[in-house]
Chain A
Amino acid sequence: MSYAYLFKYIIIGDTGVGKSCLLLQFTDKRFQPVHDLTIGVEFGARMINIENKAIKLQIWDTAGQESFRSITRSYYRGAAGALLVYDITRRETFNHLASWLEDARQHANSNMTIMLIGNKSDLQHRRAVSTEEGEQFAKENGLIFMETSAKTAHNVEEAFINTAGSIYKKIEDGVFDVSNESYGIKVGYGSGGGAGAGLGRSDAQASRSACCS
């Protein structure tokens, strides 16, 4: 399938907050309680529509453990969007947000759109971080905020799509030079996008396999 733009996302946050489950819910629309913990990085992709433009999201799901951070940081490079995830039932995952944010600010491009996500909203009875606290943190740091449940799929679509909407708006506003891939945006074929000037190779492949074979 052709697309107008490709956006690279990364998902970051402490181990066990549900990063991989969010990705799976978004790409496969299912919740898999039994899955292997992420070592290094995993990938997912899905097409979405923003203002009738096909957008491909390529999502990098990173390992959360602190000791892998020196490696994880390298994945920030060239990401247009980031989902910064904490677990509303575990206070410490919220407490670590500042350190994640610092990493992201330091190693990603400054125009990266960051969505703060309080995951596991289905576990209200075990909530340890209030919605207001999440909102407050987001406001202070200029992030979009949302509470989600990868298990029930609540707000999962919205989280990914709203982030894309925000990136798209930045493109329209001329914030990004889309021919510069370091912003995590690639221009694709068709659907009213650019002429393919910034088409990345992996996506050249993807397009090829989708439309020519």
Chain B
Amino acid sequence: MCSAELFLNATCVASSEELKIYKKRSFEAQRQSTQHAAMASAESSGEQASSGPTGTYEVVYIKDNVSVHPSPLANERISGRLKLIKQGQSVFLTWIPYNQSGIADDSGLILSPSEGAPVTPPQAPGRKDKDRNLYTIRAVSLSEIRSIRRHTPTLGWNYIIVVLTTGLAFPPLYFHNGGVKEFLGVLKEHALLVRSAEDANVYLVNDIQDPLQRSLTSLDLPEAVTPVRELEPLEEERVSAQEGPDEGGSALQPLVVSRRGPEGGVLDRLPQKHVDPLRDASIHILTQFSKVTRFVRDATTQLSGQNDRPLARSGMLGLPERAPVPPPVAPAVQRQPSAGLGEALPGRGAGDAGAGSRMEEDKDEPELSSLGAFELVDGLEEESPALVWGRPRPPPLGAEEWATFLDSEGRVSDPAGLRKRVFHGGVEPDMRREVWKFLLGYFPYESTRAERKALQANKAKEYEVLKGQWQSVSEDQAKKFAKFRERKSRVDKDVVRTDRTLPFYAGDDNPNVEALRSILITYSFYNFDLGYCQGMSDLLSPILYVMDDEVDAFWCFAALMERMASNFHRDQNGMHSQLLSLRKLVKLLDPPLDDYFRQVDCLNYFFCFRWILIHFKREFEYDNVLRLWEVLWSRYLSDHFHLYVCVAVLKRHRRKIMDEQMEFDTLLKFINDLSGRIELEGTLRDAEALCRYAGDAGVACMPPAPPPTDETQIEGPEG
């Protein structure tokens, strides 16, 4: 158990919702309740040192009336309590908002939801309640904080902005009763606090004592847009609160409190100590993205697909595809020289803290309108402050919610809303069999239940006919039918080499392997020009696994192939055009990395070949492949979202790639070895941020619609 977990377990700066999250964790219930009781007494007895089975902690700093200002409106301010808590060698920063009755939620409310009233009435979660949960900062280790920037506006309250090593920043914390200096003073006692050479208001935080280690560790910093993990439980809370206290949330992800980065080491999260314009790129993306998330975070059920290009009016608009794409981040960096350490701009609320002109801008902004929020993003010129905030992903779509998408006759009344929902949260495993048929296009969204039943019956007959075509080829006929023999033998060879370690496909004479074979051979007759190509069995395997029905799987696979056939064209034109698009995207979203790949002659992006050919099938555990694919198939933000996923993964490893000066061989091996080590949810969030940020400039990078299959695409003989 890492120290952060220990801390949370032992101290639980808890609201009732937080407790609910803790309950989801796999700790023994008995032990937990003992600890919570111990904590409760500790908290109520003045928050001094406490000892429990998992260690002691000490509140070393406490400050009331520290507020977040989600908007310029005074009545939307959220007040809370800022604390520094020491456990062992680690110090954690927390900011817990007060609850509605004005009592700090961390003052010993140690009741589980079933035992006491939740802070937020589940029936009517107000905007502010959601925000309160959203903005909560719990147990951020100082080792995860890169810098703290002090702002002392001439008018209004002083505030600080905490920037994490991941590049993410928390919204500004306003000290309504003053005391920023004292806070920094206390912080200095517990962490190495260095004033930035570039900006005297920026304090670099580092609790690692060994300077050598410190300098070494900056090498492995994940560079990409890495949203704060704390948000995941927050989102869970929000959802739980809406669904009522009885929601045990068993389907929800466990609370992520481990502070370890995707690379799995302490080394990954240590502060970056140098001005790094590359890092600023990420920060800036986050800054932009946060403006989007301001409304998106509430919008899971509110928005339809009309805003697919929220950043369409960003500074990169209107670039002709062939024109050199200017690095999107450079202008921002120039305009914000003080942002050299990845400092975020102050929150939007800064407007009411006294900056008059900003306030005007903010006033003009339709506060609760999603479009308004997007408008704010418009242009990189825009100096208006922004929250920097990662977007939590909601839990997967379940049966009850799915039912709400269907009208009385079973039509999907809001396909765009459904696609959006799937994009953000995926689908629960039990629901995939039904929902995937729509996502893939086998079932039309506008079809009624009765129509679908008829469709399935027809498709079953059609499949039998197609299957009969090759099954009825006699031995004599086959002898004179080389193409058929060759295809059949290739499929035969490959189905026994496809996911055989999965129980579903394991063992001799497995009927599922036989179904895989039948579908692939049938498909090569159904689409004779395309035929069979390696990679198809990888794409079919999860579909058959989910459908668990040969006919449905065939038609879903055929529908998928409508979108992916060009991956398997003999001349590889589909693959090459996607690799080219990826290159353009990296150039757009990470110019230094693009430069690097150019230097080492890797612009063909062949190292991403497998990712693209079979949509990361070999890179993730099976369950995660299912999740990733439904997100891709939702085609919510982009028909080519997988390319943004590629960029997101590359961005996470960009520093390592460049620092180690990987060349074609080493790069290819490195990328191959990432298999099984890519964290999905974070990567998806990064990809979403990148996609939104790229906007129309990203669209311009995308491959052209695949041309209709013609003779040049026809698969040829093997040799």
Closest CB of chain B to A82's CB: distance in Å? 15
Interface of B: prevailing SS: loop
| Nearest A residue to B672, CB-CB | A43
B536-565 residues with Cβ-Cβ distance < 8 A to A are 537-538
Q: Which residues of B contact A193 (CB under 8 A)?
A: none
Q: Which residues of A contact B672 (CB under 8 A)?
A: 40-43
A34 x B668 contact (CB < 8 A): no
A35-64 residues with Cβ-Cβ distance < 8 A to B are 35-37, 39-43, 63
A11-54 residues with Cβ-Cβ distance < 8 A to B are 14-16, 34-37, 39-43
A66 x B669 contact (CB < 8 A): no
User: A16–B489 Cα gap in the complex (Å)?
Assistant: 10
Closest CB of chain B to A17's CB: distance in Å? 10
User: A201–B494 Cα gap in the complex (Å)?
Assistant: 35
User: A74–B605 Cα gap in the complex (Å)?
Assistant: 11
Given known contacts A14-B719, A74-B604, is B534 in contact with A201 (CB within 8 Å)?
Answer: no
B613 x A96 contact (CB < 8 A): no
Q: Does A99 contact B (CB under 8 A)?
A: yes
A35 x B497 contact (CB < 8 A): yes
* Cross-chain contact of B669 among A15, A39, A43, A68 (Cβ < 8 A): A43
User: A14–B486 Cα gap in the complex (Å)?
Assistant: 13
Closest CB of chain A to B542's CB: distance in Å? 13
Among B21-29, B328-336, B567-575, which stretch is in contact with chain A? B567-575
B606 x A74 contact (CB < 8 A): yes
Q: Which residues of B contact A151 (CB under 8 A)?
A: none
Q: Does A110 contact B (CB under 8 A)?
A: no
User: A34–B613 Cα gap in the complex (Å)?
Assistant: 22
Count of chain A to chain B residue pairs whose CB atoms are closer than 8 Å in the complex: 98
Given known contacts A15-B493, A65-B534, is B719 in contact with A39 (CB within 8 Å)?
Answer: no
Q: Does A70 contact B (CB under 8 A)?
A: yes
Closest CB of chain B to A195's CB: distance in Å? 20
* Cross-chain contact of A96 among B538, B571, B610, B718 (Cβ < 8 A): B718
Q: Which residues of B contact A40 (CB under 8 A)?
A: 609-610, 613, 672
Q: Which residues of A contact B490 (CB under 8 A)?
A: 15-16, 65
Q: Which residues of A contact B673 (CB under 8 A)?
A: 43
Q: Does A78 contact B (CB under 8 A)?
A: yes
A92 x B719 contact (CB < 8 A): yes
A65 x B499 contact (CB < 8 A): no
Q: Does A213 contact B (CB under 8 A)?
A: no
Q: Does A141 contact B (CB under 8 A)?
A: no
| Nearest A residue to B618, CB-CB | A39
Q: Does A209 contact B (CB under 8 A)?
A: no
Q: Does A200 contact B (CB under 8 A)?
A: yes
A67 x B568 contact (CB < 8 A): yes
B500-548 residues with Cβ-Cβ distance < 8 A to A are 500-501, 506, 533-535, 537-538
User: A16–B498 Cα gap in the complex (Å)?
Assistant: 13
Closest CB of chain A to B466's CB: distance in Å? 23
| Nearest A residue to B673, CB-CB | A43
B606 x A37 contact (CB < 8 A): no
Given known contacts A37-B498, A40-B609, is B534 in contact with A68 (CB within 8 Å)?
Answer: yes
A95 x B664 contact (CB < 8 A): no
* Cross-chain contact of B572 among A34, A70, A78, A205 (Cβ < 8 A): A70
User: A16–B493 Cα gap in the complex (Å)?
Assistant: 7
A34 x B665 contact (CB < 8 A): no
B614 x A66 contact (CB < 8 A): no
A37 x B669 contact (CB < 8 A): no
Q: Does B662 contact A (CB under 8 A)?
A: yes
A201 x B663 contact (CB < 8 A): yes
| Nearest B residue to A100, CB-CB | B719
B618 x A202 contact (CB < 8 A): no
Q: Does B661 contact A (CB under 8 A)?
A: yes
Closest CB of chain B to A10's CB: distance in Å? 11
| Nearest A residue to B494, CB-CB | A37
| Nearest A residue to B492, CB-CB | A16
| Nearest A residue to B575, CB-CB | A71
B718 x A36 contact (CB < 8 A): no
Q: Does A120 contact B (CB under 8 A)?
A: no
User: A75–B664 Cα gap in the complex (Å)?
Assistant: 9
B718 x A14 contact (CB < 8 A): yes
Q: Does B428 contact A (CB under 8 A)?
A: no
User: A200–B662 Cα gap in the complex (Å)?
Assistant: 10
Q: Which residues of A contact B663 (CB under 8 A)?
A: 201
Closest CB of chain A to B670's CB: distance in Å? 8
B666 x A200 contact (CB < 8 A): yes
Q: Which residues of B contact A14 (CB under 8 A)?
A: 718-719
* Cross-chain contact of B497 among A37, A68, A95, A205 (Cβ < 8 A): A37
User: A99–B669 Cα gap in the complex (Å)?
Assistant: 27
User: A68–B719 Cα gap in the complex (Å)?
Assistant: 12
User: A36–B499 Cα gap in the complex (Å)?
Assistant: 6
| Nearest B residue to A92, CB-CB | B719
Q: Does B126 contact A (CB under 8 A)?
A: no
Q: Which residues of A contact B486 (CB under 8 A)?
A: 92
| Nearest B residue to A36, CB-CB | B497
User: A42–B675 Cα gap in the complex (Å)?
Assistant: 11
Q: Which residues of A contact B499 (CB under 8 A)?
A: 36
A173-213 residues with Cβ-Cβ distance < 8 A to B are 200-202, 205
Q: Which residues of A contact B610 (CB under 8 A)?
A: 39-40
* Cross-chain contact of A202 among B537, B572, B669, B715 (Cβ < 8 A): B669
* Cross-chain contact of A92 among B533, B661, B670, B718 (Cβ < 8 A): B718
Closest CB of chain A to B392's CB: distance in Å? 33
B598-635 residues with Cβ-Cβ distance < 8 A to A are 604, 606, 609-610, 613-614, 618
A15 x B718 contact (CB < 8 A): yes
B666 x A202 contact (CB < 8 A): yes
Q: Does A77 contact B (CB under 8 A)?
A: yes
B609 x A71 contact (CB < 8 A): yes
| Nearest B residue to A99, CB-CB | B719
Q: Which residues of B contact A205 (CB under 8 A)?
A: 660
User: A15–B501 Cα gap in the complex (Å)?
Assistant: 20
Q: Does B716 contact A (CB under 8 A)?
A: yes
B666 x A201 contact (CB < 8 A): yes
User: A75–B494 Cα gap in the complex (Å)?
Assistant: 23
| Nearest B residue to A93, CB-CB | B719
Given known contacts A16-B493, A71-B606, is B668 in contact with A66 (CB within 8 Å)?
Answer: no
Closest CB of chain A to B666's CB: distance in Å? 4
Given known contacts A40-B609, A40-B610, A42-B672, is B665 in contact with A8 (CB within 8 Å)?
Answer: yes
B572 x A201 contact (CB < 8 A): no
User: A67–B568 Cα gap in the complex (Å)?
Assistant: 8
| Nearest A residue to B568, CB-CB | A67
* Cross-chain contact of A201 among B568, B661, B668 (Cβ < 8 A): B661
Q: Which residues of A contact B535 (CB under 8 A)?
A: 39
User: A145–B642 Cα gap in the complex (Å)?
Assistant: 44
B572 x A67 contact (CB < 8 A): yes
| Nearest B residue to A78, CB-CB | B665
User: A16–B568 Cα gap in the complex (Å)?
Assistant: 19
User: A16–B492 Cα gap in the complex (Å)?
Assistant: 10
Q: Which of B498, B506, B718 has the most CB of A within 10 A?
A: B718
Q: Which residues of B contact A201 (CB under 8 A)?
A: 660-663, 666
B533 x A65 contact (CB < 8 A): yes
Q: Which residues of A contact B660 (CB under 8 A)?
A: 201, 205
Per-residue contact bits, chain B 650-683, to A (CB 8 Å; 1 contact, 0 not):
0000000000111111101110110000000000
A41 x B665 contact (CB < 8 A): no
User: A201–B571 Cα gap in the complex (Å)?
Assistant: 34
| Nearest B residue to A79, CB-CB | B665
Given known contacts A15-B493, A201-B661, is B606 in contact with A39 (CB within 8 Å)?
Answer: no
Q: Which residues of A contact B604 (CB under 8 A)?
A: 74
Interchain residue pairs with CB less than 8 A apart (6): A40-B609, A63-B534, A66-B716, A74-B606, A96-B718, A202-B666
Considering the complex of A and B, which 7 residue pairs feature the smallest CB-CB distances, nearest first?
Answer: A96-B719, A202-B666, A37-B497, A40-B610, A34-B500, A16-B493, A65-B534
Apart from A36-B498, A201-B660, A201-B663: 5 A-B pairs, beta carbons within 8 A: A16-B490, A34-B506, A67-B570, A78-B664, A202-B665
